[in-house]
Structure formats: structure tokens, C-alpha cells
Chain A
Amino acid sequence: MSAALLEVRGLSGVFRTRAGDTPVLHDVSFDLPAGGITAVVGETGSGKSLTALSILGLQPPGLVTGGSIRFDGRELMGLDEAGYRALRGSQIAMVFQDARSSLNPVLTVGRQLCDVARLHRGLSRRDAAALVEQTLARVAIPEPRRRMAQYPHEFSGGMAQRVMIVMALLCEPRLLLLDEPTTGLDVTTQADVMELIVALTQEAGLTTCLVTHDLGLVGEACDRVVVMRRGRVVEQADAATFFSDPATDYARTLLAANRDTVDQGTANQGTANQDTANQDTEPEGTA
């Protein structure tokens, strides 16, 4: 693995409210090595999304952050709005959880994508349309030209998420942040979108950061794992090491929670309940 494209050091975050200060991020430090997929994993309230948003300066206004975030050696903390604007999209792109609510419902999908291509790449209308069509085809959207004339509500969840990925790719970013990109999608669609993310990361030489609560996705796709809990990084490791030999009790609990329920129907991992259920249902035919 090559050097880190992004280094987060001692990131802290405090919500200032009238009722007092609520610290939500504590000394968060991790690296995103260039050219790989790193997962930031955690349950609700772990601070994983706030961390991702802080990278782009998109954290909610009440959150006061401290520490250091360096992108390609350059400090991002304290950047002004113009500085962030130059960064967002063209250097670091982000894909959010609910694709359909990230798109403008009253503009065609093609119009929204072409606007991005023209703004970030300075293309003519015609060149932008050609690039958008080509990029849509690349993420396996059938009949891209016809789809460009449609509105977001005419897209299924999986197709809308592909559109958001296309929007991110159009800017040719170096770092792609994905916040729960497949939550809410059906499992077969989720598997397709994840395969697409892995393929694009390799083809385009992207560095990808996947924020997720689903260790299943991490196992399938990621090279490195950062585990967060209650605003702290509790573990970080290579994916191979993490899954074979997790260092913390919390990671073991998370893995157990996933594996209890993860079973391909070939091996019986067996909680007490599962064992009784299986005895009950095992038909005579297979005994």
C-alpha cells in the first residue's frame, strides 16, 4: 500500500448548544492509503458520518471541530468556503445514502449531470452530453441517452445511486467518499453497486472511503478497516487481519453480531435458538 492520500489526526468535534457542550468526536486519527478502499465502520452514533462530512467541511453548523485533516499533504482544517469549493467534487467527491433525495426532482437527470460536467470540466454543452452518456454506460445503465431525458422519480433506487456515482466520477476526483451508499437498496442491487464501486476504484485509480454500518460490505470490498465507536477510533487494521484476528472486544462483538446472522446456508454456526430451529425443521429426507 502506498502513502496516505488523506491523514486525519486528532480530529475532535463538539456540539455547542444552549444546554452545554456535547463532545461527539474524540481524537479521531486514521489514514486513507492511496489507491485502496478503506471502510469506516460503526453503529448509529459512532461519529462515522460526522467524520466523513468534516473532511469536506460539510459538518452541521453547530459542530465545532479541531485537529488536523491533511489531503495530499495539504491542511484542510480552517480552509475558507472558497477553498472548500475548489476541493469539493474536483478533488474529493461524496456520494450520500439516499440518492433520490440528493437529486433535484424537477430537472432531468441528464441536465443535472451535464451541469456538473460543464462546471467542473469546462466542457461545451455537446461535449458534456457525450461524456455523461459515456459515463452512464460505464456504470451499466442501459439506454443512457433515453435515461438522460428522464426525471429522478423515474429511476429505481439502484439506478439513482449509479447516477450519483456517475456525478462523482464526472469530476475525476482523487478521493471518493461514500456514506452508506447501498443502505435502502435490495440485496441483489446492493451487490451490483458494490461490485461497481470496487471496479471503478481499480480502473480509475481512485482512493475510496466507504462509511458503513455493514461489516458484510466491508468483507466483500475493502482493503482496510477503521472501526469507530462513540466518537473514537477503537481499531484500525488491514481487512485480512481484522476479519481473522480482531484486536478489540468491540470488534469481536460486532463480528459475532454479523456472523450470527450471516450464514450461507452451508455451515451451521449455531446460536442456541438456531440449533433448536434447525432440528425442528430438518426434514426426514435429508437425515
Chain B
Amino acid sequence: MTEPGKPLLSVTGLRTEFTVRSRGSRRTLRAVDGVDLELHAGRTSAVVGESGSGKSTLARSILRLVEPTAGTVLVDGRPLSAFRRRRDIYKDIQMVFQDPRSSLDPRQRVREILDEPMRLHLRRSPADRARRIRELLAAVELDEAILERRPAALSGGQRQRVGIARALAVEPKVVILDEPTASLDASTRGVVLDLLARLQRENDLAYLLISHDLHTVRRIAHTVAVMYLGRVIETGPVAEVLRHPAHPYTQALIDAAPVAAHGGHHRTIRLTGEIPSPFDRNPGCVLASRCPLAEASCTTRQPSLAEFRPDHFAACPVTHRQPR
């Protein structure tokens, strides 16, 4: 509503299912279950959730690394299905992976790692590409001496900078950041997040940040969607959602995040048990089996997102009824 202009990436009703065969039976696992999402130039939307929430499958479905079962993805107004070859998508959307140790080819030198996407996607002369490589290195604050090294000879922070530079090499509009700092030490993490924020301002990039870490989200995202068992259960501006969480699951996530202060803090909501198997879902709310606020109707009717405060949507009729 307050988002300016047309979205660069727009996801509607995205659903991704996997068929799992075990002991002769076929079962369907719905990893992403009807997700809507919009990304705008110069802004960051975060998707947070724990393992099994479907956040990584969502990212992979957008990139068509897995084929979504239903739903549409528009890149700058153009449906992904209109791209002739799958790899043409990657001119517009790039990804920074969680673990740069496994996402960089160990046999390539940094120069080759950065050159390859440009050779594939851009018609540029070798001299142009060499100039662009120097620009990219400067942008991610790496020294040119690094060009002849291989990933094994780099520190974790340097490797992730190379991963970021590689994603930016083809001048994409949208960058998907999949847990970009999860493999880094605390002090390096902050530096890389600041770097990502600066690159976004300079290049007007739209970021989709996939993370389990609310601290990272708070630091660089503008809007956030909280996922649980394949569904978005709460969404809105980051400061608003983290200050006034409306869904019990969001509250539980905030409560569980450790605080670097003596004595820590108090947990107000406690979920029971662990995330249930995605096969054994009841027809109602995905959280009902673990939620301390659950009522009888929660197990029978699936709540949809309702506006809780301006721009802030949550799928919980119980907290929605409570006066704030």
C-alpha cells in the first residue's frame, strides 16, 4: 500500500509440492502453500522461519531451481514462463548462497568465478569484462591481489564477498540472499550486512532475504513475512511486526532469540513440542498443535491473513479479537 511504484518481483499464490514415495505409498508434501510476495527496487523483503518452514523452497521455486506446482511469478511484469530458457531468468534474478565454501567452485580462481556469469549473460568484450571485475572487487571492498586465488585460500568473509560480487556481476534487478551471513562470525556478519545495504542503495537492488535470524532481518530488511509450515502467517513492516507481533508464532520466535545481556529476558509465549511433520497437517491453523492460545475452532478452520494494524497482516483470529 505504501510501497512506491510497480513491484520488480511479484509472487502470487505460489505452491510447491513434492511427491514422496516411502514403503510403496505416495504422499504429497506441500512445502510452499499459497505464498504471495512483492519486491520493490531499493527495498528488502525478508522471509523468516525455522527449518521446515518452506522459506528455502520458496526461494528455489522463484528461481525455478525447483518447479513450482501452481502460482505465478512476475519479474518486472513479465511472467517467468515467458523466458525462453531457464538460464535467462538469471540475468534478472541472482542469488547469494548461505555457504560460500560450497557455492564457489574450488577449482576456479576468483577472476574466473566473477567472469563466468558475464560470459554467459552479457555480450561484453574481454576488456569490458576485466574492467567490470575491477569495479566489482572495489564494490565489495576486496583487493585485486585476490583475483588469482582460489576459494580455499580465502577467509569466510572474503568468500562471501566474492559470492556477492558474482551475484552482482550481471547487474541483476533482484538478488535473493539465502542466509547470507549464517556461516560468518559475529564481527564479520555486521560488516557484510552493511556492505549489502550499501550495494542496495548504490544499485537500487531489490533484495529477498531468507533468514532464520531476526537480528539480521531487523538490520537490513524493510518488510518481513513470517513463514511456518509453508504458509505466511504474519507480514508487515519490520519495525511494526517485531514491536507488535500479532501471531503467537512470531511472538515465540522473538522470545526465543537470545539477548547479549546478563540475565537474558523473559519468554512470554512458549510453544509445546516441535514443528510437526508436514504430512500430518490438520485442516485448521498450522500452529494449532503447539499454540498455547489455540481454541477449538483453530483446529478446524484455516485462518487467512487479516489486517491487524495498518499494513500489518496476521493469520490469527484469536489475537485479532484481543484488544490492543
Binds B, one of A52-60, A105-113, A144-152, A277-285: A277-285
**B259 and A277 contact, CB distance less than 8 A:** no
- Max chain B Cβ within 10 angstroms of own Cβ: one of A190, A243, A273, A284: A273
Cβ-based interface call for A20 (8 A): no
Find chain A residues with CB under 8 A from B256 CB: 187-188, 190-191
Cβ-based interface call for B264 (8 A): yes
CB distance from B197 to the nearest CB of A (A): 4
CB distance from B42 to the nearest CB of A (A): 9
Cβ-based interface call for A258 (8 A): yes
Main secondary structure of the interface of B (DSSP, over half): mixed
**B259 and A244 contact, CB distance less than 8 A:** no
Cβ-based interface call for A142 (8 A): yes
- Alpha-carbon distance between A135 and B185 when the two chains are bound, in angstroms: 35
Q: Which of A243, A266, A271 contacts B260 (CB 8 A)?
A: A243
Q: Which of B2, B219, B265, B271 contacts A283 (CB 8 A)?
A: B2
- Alpha-carbon distance between A218 and B259 when the two chains are bound, in angstroms: 9
Q: Considering only CB atoms and an 8 Å cut-off, how many residues of chain B contact the other chain?
A: 57
Given A219-B262, A262-B260: A213 touches B239 (CB 8 Å cut-off)? no
Find chain A residues with CB under 8 A from B252 CB: 188
- Alpha-carbon distance between A285 and B308 when the two chains are bound, in angstroms: 11
Cβ-based interface call for B237 (8 A): yes
Find chain A residues with CB under 8 A from B221 CB: 277
- Max chain A Cβ within 10 angstroms of own Cβ: one of B44, B257, B311: B257
Contact with A along B241-265 (1 / 0, CB 8 A): 1110100000011111111111111
**A218 and B240 contact, CB distance less than 8 A:** no
Q: Which of A43, A242, A244, A282 contacts B239 (CB 8 A)?
A: A282
- Max chain A Cβ within 10 angstroms of own Cβ: one of B44, B255, B274: B274
- Alpha-carbon distance between A273 and B201 when the two chains are bound, in angstroms: 10
Cβ-based interface call for B312 (8 A): yes
In chain B, positions 203-256 with a C-beta closer than 8 Å to chain A are 212-216, 218-223, 236-243, 245, 252-256
CB distance from B74 to the nearest CB of A (A): 23
Contact with B along A175-218 (1 / 0, CB 8 A): 00000000000111111001000000000000000000111111
- Max chain A Cβ within 10 angstroms of own Cβ: one of B50, B156, B241, B256: B256
Binds A, one of B19-27, B76-84, B135-143, B187-195: B187-195
Find chain A residues with CB under 8 A from B271 CB: 188
Contact with B along A127-161 (1 / 0, CB 8 A): 00000000000000010000000000000111100
CB distance from B218 to the nearest CB of A (A): 5
Main secondary structure of the interface of A (DSSP, over half): helix
- Alpha-carbon distance between A213 and B181 when the two chains are bound, in angstroms: 14
**A257 and B187 contact, CB distance less than 8 A:** yes
Find chain A residues with CB under 8 A from B5 CB: none
**B237 and A283 contact, CB distance less than 8 A:** yes
Given A186-B50, A273-B197: A218 touches B260 (CB 8 Å cut-off)? yes
**B253 and A219 contact, CB distance less than 8 A:** no
Q: Which of B215, B238, B262 contacts A242 (CB 8 A)?
A: B262
Cβ-based interface call for A240 (8 A): yes
Cβ-based interface call for A5 (8 A): no
Find chain B residues with CB under 8 A from A43 CB: 185-187
Cβ-based interface call for A263 (8 A): yes
**A156 and B274 contact, CB distance less than 8 A:** yes
Given A189-B274, A213-B186: A265 touches B216 (CB 8 Å cut-off)? no
Whose C-beta in chain A lies nearest to the C-beta of B269? A188
Find chain A residues with CB under 8 A from B187 CB: 43, 253-254, 257
**A44 and B262 contact, CB distance less than 8 A:** no
Given A187-B212, A281-B238, A283-B312: A258 touches B243 (CB 8 Å cut-off)? no
**A159 and B253 contact, CB distance less than 8 A:** no
**B258 and A220 contact, CB distance less than 8 A:** yes
Given A186-B51, A219-B263: A281 touches B223 (CB 8 Å cut-off)? yes
Cβ-based interface call for B149 (8 A): no
Whose C-beta in chain B lies nearest to the C-beta of A225? B262
- Alpha-carbon distance between A139 and B43 when the two chains are bound, in angstroms: 44
Whose C-beta in chain A lies nearest to the C-beta of B2? A283
**A257 and B262 contact, CB distance less than 8 A:** no
Q: Could you name 5 residue pairs across A and B whose Cβ atoms are closer than 8 Å?
A: A156-B275, A187-B258, A215-B186, A273-B194, A273-B197
Chain B positions near chain A (C-beta within 8 angstroms): 2, 43-44, 50-51, 156, 185-187, 189-190, 193-194, 197, 212-216, 218-223, 236-243, 245, 252-265, 267, 271, 273-275, 309-312
